[in-house]
Structure 1
Amino acid sequence: MRTAAGNRTFLAIMGTLILLAWLTLWAWEHSPYSRYLQHGLWGQTTHASLSAHSHGLSAILYLVGWTLMTAAMMLPSTLPLIEIFRRLTIRKKNHLQLVALVIAGYLIVWAGFGIVAHLSDWGLYQLIGRFPWVQSNGWVLGVGILVLAGGFQFSSLKYRCLDKCRAPLSFVMQYWRGKRDQLHSFMLGIHHGIFCVGCCWALMLLMFVVGTGSIGWMLALGAVMAIEKNMPWGRKLSAPLGVALIGLGLLIVLLHSPQFI
Structure 2
Amino acid sequence: MRSLYHRRAFYGFGLSLAALAWLLLWVWSQSPYGRYLEHGDWMQIGLAGAICAALPFGESLLPAALYVLGWVLMLGAMMLPTTLPILDVYARLVRRRRDRLALIGLVICGYLGAWMVFGAVAHLADLGLVALVRRSDWLTFNGWALGAAVIAGAGVFQFSDLKRRCLERCRMPMSFVIEHWQGRREYRNALRLGWRHGLFCVGCCWALMLLMFVVGTGNLGWMLLLGAVMAVEKNFAWGRRISTPLGIALLGWSGAVVLANTGV
Q: TM-score, normalised by structure 2?
A: 0.92
8 Å contact kept, 1:42–1:58: no
Two-structure CA RMSD over aligned residues (Å): 1.9
Q: Secondary structure at the match of 1:235?
A: helix
Aligned residues, how many? 257
1:257 paired residue number: 262
Map Cα deviations across residues 145-202 of structure 1 (whole Å, 9 max, x no partner): 0000001111111111111111111111111111111111111110000010010100
Query: 1:203 offset after TM fit, Å?
Result: 0.4
Query: 1:55 offset after TM fit, Å?
Result: 2.0
Residue identity (%): 52
Q: Secondary structure at the match of 2:96?
A: coil
Write the distance in 2 (CA, Å) between the matches of 1:170 and 1:202: 25
1:172 paired residue number: 177
Gaps of 5+ in 2: none
2:17 paired residue number: 17
Query: 1:8 offset after TM fit, Å?
Result: 2.3
Q: TM-score, normalised by structure 1?
A: 0.93
Write the distance in 2 (CA, Å) between the matches of 1:115 and 1:196: 16
Q: Secondary structure at the match of 1:129?
A: helix
From 236, 239, 252, give the equivalent of 1:234: 239
Gaps of 5+ in 1: none
8 Å contact kept, 2:42–2:63: no
1:143 paired residue number: 148
2:129 paired residue number: 124
Write the distance in 2 (CA, Å) between the matches of 1:150 and 1:162: 16
Query: Is residue 2:138 matched to residue 1:133?
Result: yes
Query: 1:42 offset after TM fit, Å?
Result: 4.6
Query: 1:15 offset after TM fit, Å?
Result: 1.6
Query: 1:35 offset after TM fit, Å?
Result: 2.4
User: Where do 1:132-211 residues align within 5 Å?
Assistant: 132-211=137-216
8 Å contact kept, 1:43–1:122: no
From 221, 224, 245, give the equivalent of 1:219: 224
Query: Is residue 2:85 matched to residue 1:80?
Result: yes
Name the CA shift for 1:42/1:198 in 2 (closer, same or farther; >3 Å).
farther
From 102, 108, 111, give the equivalent of 1:97: 102
User: Where do 1:17-96 residues align within 5 Å?
Assistant: 17-39=17-39, 41-42=40-41, 52-96=57-101
Write the distance in 2 (CA, Å) between the matches of 1:151 and 1:43: 35
Q: Secondary structure at the match of 1:80?
A: helix
Map Cα deviations across residues 42-63 of structure 1 (whole Å, 9 max, x no partner): 5886xx9956123201110011
8 Å contact kept, 1:99–1:185: yes
Write the distance in 2 (CA, Å) between the matches of 1:100 and 1:62: 22
